[in-house]
Amino acid sequence: MADAASRRIAFQGELGAYGDEATGAFFGPAVTRVPYPTFRAVFEAVASGAVEGGVVPMESALAGPVAEVVDLLLEFTPPISGELRLRVRHCLLAPPGHTLEGLTHALSHPQALAQCAGWLRGHHLQPVPEANTAVAARRVAQEATPGTAAIASRAAGERYGLTVLAEGIEDSPDNATRFLAVGPAVPPSLGARWKTSVVLTLDNGPGALAGVLGAFAARGVNVARLEARPGGVRAWDYRWCLDVDGAEDSAPVKAALDEARSASTSLQVLGSYALND
């Protein structure tokens, strides 16, 4: 296995983005962090072997799942090799000389804008979606448009020479994003807790989902997340995404998966991985 310094790990955005920060937290500061412009490009790079792994945001504690990433996980089905919950502390950034009172617009990724929605309303700032928080910071630094600021990390502000006008502007002090490591590269030094991610399809009949969930409940296995996504073949067919607590090879999870598989039309384990809380 390649050492950390020689690993190439993809993330979406630019250097200074939260995905960049999460990649370093997963794999250490020596890893080679490779930015890609879109989430699809990250998955394509992992699938082609251009990189040893990728880091993608799966869910925001405030804004919910990142639907595009969920759908790409189901399309590419790379192995999930780790989970990291990153505390996200947003800053309002502007070129030197700007003041909060003179601002009218704030650029950022839609998830970040959603996480700061209350603060933005309170300060009468119009949210403007951008591809990524670091992209927003770079654009504000390069264009220096009067009245325009970016919402991004302090690290992004330092990278692009912006001034921090306000810090901690997220609406909840518990704001965090759940990142996943995908691909063959397994992050080192993760925690002792484990999770298993599953995608399954069901016959559209009474009690079908209850039967699957009951397989886990009967063995004391907690279903930590349940989400339906379009099946992609026929209208109103769904794929069900489940995260359950525990490792795939533990006796309760293994038995529950065996029973759930018999009650499903298809079932695939996307990964069984350690959590870094």
Known catalytic residues are: 177, 179
CB 260 within 8 A of CB 209: no
* Token pair for 270: 């996307």
Distances (CA, A) of 271 to 34, 61, 73, 99, 249: 23, 21, 11, 47, 11
| CA–CA gap between residue 144 and residue 228 (Å, rounded) | 42
Q: What ranges make up the beta strands (E) of 109-222?
A: 126-129, 148-152, 163-167, 176-182, 194-201
What is the longest distance spanned by two Cα atoms in the chain? 64
Query: 10 Å Cβ neighbour count for 266?
Result: 10
Q: Which residues contact 13 (CB under 8 A, 6 or more apart)?
A: 19, 20, 35, 131, 132, 133, 134, 135
Sign, CA torsion 115/178/240/231: positive
* Token pair for 122: 């309170």
CB 179 within 8 A of CB 17: no
| Nearest to 84, CA basis, from 13, 24, 132 | 24
Distances (CA, A) of 156 to 94, 135, 145, 264: 11, 9, 18, 46
